[in-house]
Amino acid sequence: MRNGQFMKFLSPVSFPFETVRGGACGFVCGAVLFSVIAVPVLGQQTKSPPEGVRACEPNGQAGGKKSQRKTKRKTEENAAIEGSACLEIRQPALAVQEYLQEFVRQERWNIGEEQISEDAWTFAVYLKNEELDEYTKIPEDPKIDWRSGKALVNIRTNEAKDGFTRLVVTARFDGYGEPEDKFAPNRESWPLPSKGVLEAKLINALKTRFARP
């Protein structure tokens, strides 16, 4: 390159705020270029990814009129005894059900009486007497000498908005034992209110697995 051409290459360069000669942009030019180029990139990096799960109400209606009719038929007694929890997951229903089945087996719960369909999984968890206190609210009266118990768990899924699957867990507990009072009426089983612990274990497992899609 000839000297004349080289000097022409270094001719004044026009910027919106000033004219800089000889390519010596300096601190001010560097700051402006950084703000124009780097800041949008940084803004994109700090944007949070979408949530993979979101809270919901167990009695919320994502399943249309059929689900609404089922909810209306539920008695006040069932609502008081039955524990329930709800979560919406940005995953297909089949993936959610399969993961929960895997989780329950890894926990080595003593389960049986399984019934599996496309949108539901029902099973029983057989409990030792000491587990009744962990999962249920044992009444003070009548006093029972507890032998064992059972939780009947129902996990139901249906389609929700924005590509989410709504999952509702319900659990009903029964305890087996004899009254300490020999004159008290004897029963085959005693319904026990849920503490929500078992239901929370299933919901928390889903949160841990699917919190980020």
**Which stretches does DSSP call E strand in the chain?**
13-14, 19-20, 53-55, 83-89, 111-116, 120-128, 144-159, 165-179, 190-192
**Tens digit of each residue's pLDDT (9 = 90 or more) over 149-159:** 999 999 999 99
Q: Determine the average pLDDT of the residues in 143-153.
A: 93
pLDDT band at 62 (very low <50, low <70, confident <90, very high): very low
pLDDT at residue 128, as a whole number: 94
What residue spans define the domains of the chain? 3-45, 53-210
Exposure string of 179-188, with b = 16+ CB inside 10 Å and e = fewer, is: beeeeeeeee
Please give the residue that has the higher pLDDT: either 33 or 144: 144
Q: pTM value?
A: 0.66
